[in-house]
Amino acid sequence: MSGRYLLRKGAQALLTIAFILLLNFLLFRMMPGSPDRVLARNMPAAAHQQLQERWGLNKPLIPDQLVAYVTATVQGDLGDSYKFRGQSVVDVLSQRIWPTVLLFGTGELIAVLVGLSLGAYSGWKRGGPVDYVGNGISLILYSMPYFVIGMILLIVFSAGLGLFPTSGMYTIAATYHSPLDQLLDLASHFALPLTTVAIGLIGEYSILMRSSIIETLGEDYITTARAKGLPDGAVLRDHALPNALLPAVTLVAINLGYVIAGAITVEVVFGWPGIGTLTVDALNARDYPILQGIFLLLSVSVVLANFVADLVYGALDPRVRT
Amino acid sequence: MTATSARPADLRAERMAARIRGVQDFVRRFARRRDGLVGVAILVVFGALALAPSLFVGPLQTATTASGTSLQAPGLSHLFGTDELGRDLLNLTVHGTRISMTIGFLATLVTILIGATIGIVAGYLGGTTDTVLMRITDFFLVLPTFVLALILAPIVLDLVGADAEIAGFRATLFVIVLVIGVTSWASTARIIRAQALSVKERAFVARARVIGAGGGHIMLRHILPNVLNLIVANVVLTFAGAILTETVLAFVGLGDPLDPSWGQILNAAEGAGAPGLGAWWYILPPAGSVVLVVLAFTLVGTALDDVLNPRLRTRR
């Protein structure tokens, strides 16, 4: 990979993050009910002016306030939560991020493995029974918001069959005799949300992979491989799959932004104590500092994921290394 | 757009005939796609429900006009069962159709309007304008726009105030429309720009410029008609996306309980603990409607893509 490619992609990612910071700054200056405006109603003008001076609110929005905001953000100071009193946004976010990483990391892994294999197989056997049924199911799953999948699973397996708990990460106020007990409790709470995430993503990824492999099968080098008399398995394994995987994997990274939307709702359905439930709680309480922090966290993660995907693509495909 | 210059009448008639032939050809090819027709049929049904919900199920039931008791399972008196307030779910879902489809339609209009304008202007003008506009577009493409919509919606809602009412719809509806539109135009702009770039190099654009046509005229009369097929295909997919986005936004609590969309009904179901209580009838009608409509749009979209895009016709 050439240094120029790396540099260009890196600069793009940095520029995007700078845009995100600017947007975050402007958006939340627009918001109603800022502490400053609330205070202005309840205090004498002189005292209010003094406060404004202390907070730097009398200075111009750009550059002074923007510089102050960016400096604080870069130093890891995202302000304090309204709802969780006495806790900084960074504290709240760092408590909530691990359940989300666990849920979506595992779900993403399962979905990539199953979804890509399923898509590759049904694209390879296009028009066959697996393709027909698989594609139909994928299309329906694709049209279904994740939380609906979760609700259906809850109705069938928790309310109907009573196999799994309905909410949370652990049984409330449970005492465990051994770490194994605790792990089992976690697993029973984890099963349904994980299945929901995996099912939702499998539909998406198998559609991606299916069209990618169909595209690849139309290429001349596949015809060449067949003409050389290679067996079907070798054509698929050595010629079609490696080339079809590349765009599919990139699309997986690009799709991360949409996955996040699903993440938020799945967590709400299962009361999973991650970033998703935090978002909805913060929305209902209009806890703007938290929302601002979540927006920053999620969008920067997506930008970084795209950057990594670009690098992987560049490393694997010599054609884009310019 | 209707005022045409003094063109020979027979030429105009000929163009008209060609256009009608094109439409007939399109209809004939589309009619051969069974999946597309199924999609259209589903959309027609939901369109009818959206246009006159009261005609089918009477006025929207509220907590005071509820016709049943709390969480009744489906039966003869309530085909789809009732919610926790005793409201008939068939009634709610059909009225939800009106809200969801209206938001989907308006949000699509806004999205396409922004996307097509930016795409055509960037593609036609080129140069610095193009660079700047495409930088912004790329930014919106990378950004998790749903999260942006999620924080934008409450801010705008608080600014506007949720109780205002415009044209029989509450203000929340328009805020959601605006937020969806503002956050989802980027891919449309990219696609339209690519086409505009190639259209502007064609001879008729150069001819128009030679006889003194201005930029605005060329973009409106020459570029726009030639990117129209892309816009049509895009409308279908955008509509489906808008309905999904609205459903999720309403589900996380940004909808309006007094103007219940499908997502809002699902939000209420979640709030009432319907999944844990096993009240499947509370979830199935609104969720099924979302899936059916989005699926229908996807089916129509792929069929349209095949019909409008000659390169794809041999594939699949």
- Check pLDDT > 80 for residue A199: yes
Beta bridge partner(s), residue B280:
none
| Cβ of residue B314 closer than 8 Å to a chain A Cβ | no
Burial of B220 (0-12, 13-18, 19+ CB in 10 A): middle
Residues facing B82 on adjacent strands = B88
Task: Give the closest of A30, A145, A260 to B290, CB-based.
Answer: A145
**Per-residue model confidence as pLDDT tens digits over B106-146:** 999 999 999 999 999 999 998 899 999 998 998 888 888 88
B278/A155 touch (CB, cutoff 8 Å), yes or no:
yes
The answer to whether the Cβ–Cβ distance between A306 and B142 falls below 8 Å is yes
* B256 close to B172: Cβ distance less than 8 angstroms: yes
> Is the pLDDT score of A322 beyond 60?
no
Q: Around Cβ B74, how many Cβ atoms within 10 Å?
A: 16
Q: Which residues 206-225 of A have a C-beta within 8 angstroms of B?
A: 214, 218
Range 150-179 of A in CB contact (< 8 A) with B:
150-152, 154-155, 158-160, 166-167
How far lies B260's CA from each of A152, A269, B103, B265, in Å?
Answer: 21, 19, 11, 6
Contact B92, B49 (CB under 8 A): no
Determine the length of chain A. 322
In the predicted model, is pLDDT for residue A289 greater than 60?
yes
Name which of B155, B266, B290 is nearest A31 (Cβ-Cβ).
B155
Mean pLDDT of chain B: 84
Closest alpha carbon within chain B to A251:
B142
**What pLDDT band is residue B162 in, cutting at 50, 70 and 90?**
low
Q: Which two tokens stand for residue A169?
A: 């990460």
Give the closest residue to B316 by CA, choosing from A168, A293, A296, A210: A210
Closest Cα partner for B267 from A142, A286, A147? A147
Yes or no, beta carbons of A299 and B148 under 8 Å apart: yes
pLDDT for A38: 64
In B139-168, the residues whose Cβ lies within 8 Å of chain A are: 139, 142-148, 150-152, 154-155, 158-159
Measured between beta carbons, the chain A residues lying within 8 angstroms of B249 are none
Mean pLDDT score of chain A:
81
Task: Write out pLDDT tens, residues B269-278.
Answer: 888 877 777 7
State ipTM: 0.82
User: Which pLDDT belongs to residue B292?
Assistant: 92
Distance (Å, whole) CA A105 – CA A103 = 6
Question: pTM of the predicted model, to two decimals?
Answer: 0.85
| B199 Cα to chain A: minimum distance (Å) | 26
Please report, to the nearest 10 degrees, the dihedral formed by the alpha carbons of residues B126, B127, B130, B133 taken in order.
Answer: -150
pLDDT at B2 over 60: no
Q: Render the burial of B143-181: b for 16+ CB within 10 Å, e for the rest.
A: bbbbbbbbbbbbbbbbeeeeeeeeeebbbbbbbbbbbbb
Chain A residues with CB under 8 Å of B291 CB are 140, 143-144, 148
Q: Do B290 and A143 touch (CB under 8 A)?
A: yes
The vertex-B151 CA angle with B186 and B95, nearest 5°, equals 85
pLDDT tens per residue across span A222-271:
888 888 888 888 888 888 888 888 877 777 777 777 777 777 888 888 88
Residue A135: the pLDDT is 80
Burial readout B95-134 (b: 16 or more C-beta within 10 A, e: otherwise): bbbbbbbbbbbbbbbbbbebbbbbbbbbbbeeeeebeebb
Residue of B nearest to A161 (CA): B278
Tell me, what's the pLDDT at B294?
92
CA distance B3 to chain A (A): 43
The band of B315, judged by pLDDT with boundaries at 50, 70 and 90, is very low
Residue of chain B whose alpha carbon sits nearest to that of A261: B146
- Average pLDDT of the segment spanning A183-205: 83
Can you give the pLDDT at residue A103?
A: 87
Contacts of B279 in chain A (CB under 8 A): 155
Q: What domains, with CATH codes, occur in chain B?
A: 29-46+89-310 (1.10.3720.10)
Of A106, A143, A258, A298, nearest in space to B301 by CA: A143
DSSP E strand boundaries for chain B:
165-166, 169-170
Taking alpha carbons only, the member of B62, B45, B49 closest to residue B93 is: B49
**A268 in B contact zone (CB under 8 Å):** yes
Q: Which residue of B143, B244, B282 is the best one to mutate when testing the A interface, meaning the one whose CB has the most A CBs within 10 A?
A: B143
Length of chain B: 316
Share of chain A above pLDDT 70, in %: 94
Gap between the terminal Cα atoms of chain B: 39
